[in-house]
A and B are shown apart, each in its own frame.
Chain A
Amino acid sequence: MPDSRLPPLYAIHHAAGASFTDFAGWQMPVSYGSDLAEHHAVRTAAGLFDISHMAEIRVDGPDAPAFLDYALAGKISALAYGQAKYSLLLSEDGGIVDDLVVYRAGRNNSSFMIVANAGNRVPVVIALQERAAGFKVAISDESDRVSLIAVQGPASRAIVEQVIGRDLSELKYYWGVEMLYNDGPFFVARTGYTGEDGFELYLGNDSAAQLWQELLEAGAPHGLIPAGLASRDTLRLEAGMPLYGHELGLETFPAQAGLGRVVALAKEGDFVGRAAIEAGPPSDARKLVGLIAEGRRAGRADYPVFDGDREVGIVTSGALSPTLGYPIAMAYVDPNVSEAGTALTIDVRGTRVPASVVALPFYKRDTK
């Protein structure tokens, strides 16, 4: 792969004044001016994200459901047509190779789409190919042909409905629907990574610019603005959603990250990582918790966490929460200090900042 890849919408972002950051080898918009304004727009109206760096991998064939039950941690064979599931690709040791979303894409129960993190595209494809031995499946990496645009926020449904001309009120969270856009394949999923209602739209690169512009125009009266990866990160952090490389990694057992429920130990048959997961992490393995602090100084990734003079953990992500107005962080801490309400400190560049353990997420939208 070249050192730096440009998303299909690069020219549009550049013209809109975006600043860019390298993300897994892609030049992606980090912000279009104010990451805070973009964050607030998603919480109160809507934001438009280009996340085309994400990897889309198709799995097709008569054995696809059985193969995915073996290759992934969840019971993928139980998915209905159009249904999505958050899942994990585990190593034999029970570590996390990637966290991903799987959609059942075909009526005949033989087509699935896996959406993986951009940085894990290669390891995921390799692992799937290795695990496919003996199964009648074809694995195809569609990432270079597929663009992914996310519309997130309370106004997102009205905006997407207007552009696609279809009522989405009956589309449930973590379900999608196959359609056509410009006569090309188009998948509309009610999913996201912000803690708000939202949609993720998959389509061919050729039509991405047109869809982006239509969403911008339809969304403007609703307060929709384009939003970059900086706000995406603070939004997902407030929503308590893990980010691979921060909260998740090869050394992390799902249970440590609070993802024990994602591993379907009750499903029949073997799956990669099963034995290690059943053996479980050691009882003193650190647990992922939320930390909140006072003031304005945020604990950030890799800052140590203390209980008195004893180092008991490490921050994996942190920021001054734009929505809540105080510092929040996710951290791995020793199990004996992981209870909500435990008083700890974070070493913020030499200053011990008092912090309290809280249950995740930090922010939950009002769904009434």
Chain B
Amino acid sequence: MADPTTLQYTAEHEWILVEGDVATVGITAYAADKLGDVVFVDLPKAGSSVATGTVVGEIESTKSVGELFAPVDGVVAESNDAVEADPSLVNSDPFGAGWLIKVTFTELPSLLSHDEYSKLVGE
């Protein structure tokens, strides 16, 4: 599991771990908690291009549907097969095994720090 304090965030409740030119993306524990038990995820396939701010996938709980927004421009390097097979990983380990996609990017947009995101959700 990644240390949440070292991650970057978006206002759409996603976290981003930057390693070289690859951004690993997931949803925050706050978002997972708000959604409730996740029962289905639909993720973009490896090789597909994504643009910042566009909807590229869905995270569905028993009671609602959340959208996955691309936090960066780039190409999907990998989507998490394990979480498609067992969506409850999003709830049990949102910052670790519940990661959703890895995106290869050329430029990183402005993102929120852990402190800024914590302030946003009032925690």
A residues within 8 Å of B by Cβ? Answer: 19, 30-31, 34-37, 39, 230, 233-234, 296-298, 300, 319-320, 322, 349
B4 interfacial by beta-carbon distance below 8 Å: no
B66 interfacial by beta-carbon distance below 8 Å: no
Contact A233/B63 with A19-B33, A19-B34, A34-B91 known, Cβ cut-off 8 Å: yes
B40 interfacial by beta-carbon distance below 8 Å: yes
Q: 9 new A-B pairs (CB below 8 Å) besides A19-B34, A35-B36, A230-B62?
A: A30-B63, A34-B91, A35-B63, A36-B37, A36-B62, A230-B63, A233-B63, A296-B60, A297-B60
A91 to B121, CA, bound (A): 44
Asked if B40 and A320 make an inter-chain contact with CB atoms under 8 angstroms apart, the answer reads yes
Q: Give 22 A-B contacts (CB < 8 Å), ordered by A residue.
A: A19-B33, A19-B34, A34-B91, A35-B36, A35-B61, A35-B62, A35-B63, A36-B62, A230-B36, A230-B63, A234-B62, A296-B39, A296-B40, A296-B60, A297-B40, A297-B60, A298-B60, A300-B65, A320-B40, A320-B60, A322-B62, A349-B65
Contact-size category for B: 10 to 19
Q: Mark B24-47, 1 if CB is under 8 A from A, else 0.
A: 000000000110110110100000
A30 to B34, CA, bound (A): 10
A319 to B65, CA, bound (A): 10
A324 to chain B, nearest CB (A): 12
B residues within 8 Å of A by Cβ? Answer: 33-34, 36-37, 39-40, 42, 58, 60-63, 65, 91
Asked if B62 and A319 make an inter-chain contact with CB atoms under 8 angstroms apart, the answer reads yes
B61's nearest neighbour on chain A, judged by CB, is: A35
- Return the 5 tightest CB-CB contacts between A and B, nearest first: A296-B40, A36-B37, A320-B39, A35-B36, A230-B63
B17 to chain A, nearest CB (A): 26
A232 to B35, CA, bound (A): 16
A233 to B34, CA, bound (A): 16
A231 to B91, CA, bound (A): 16
Residue numbers in B under 8 Å from A35 (CB-CB): 36-37, 61-63
A325's nearest neighbour on chain B, judged by CB, is: B39
A363 to chain B, nearest CB (A): 15
A233 to B64, CA, bound (A): 12
A147 to chain B, nearest CB (A): 25
A295's nearest neighbour on chain B, judged by CB, is: B40
Residue numbers in A under 8 Å from B63 (CB-CB): 30, 35, 230, 233-234, 319
A37 to B92, CA, bound (A): 13
B92's nearest neighbour on chain A, judged by CB, is: A34
A77 to B77, CA, bound (A): 69
Residue numbers in A under 8 Å from B40 (CB-CB): 296-297, 320
A320's nearest neighbour on chain B, judged by CB, is: B39
A222 to chain B, nearest CB (A): 23
B9 to chain A, nearest CB (A): 20
Residue numbers in B under 8 Å from A233 (CB-CB): 63
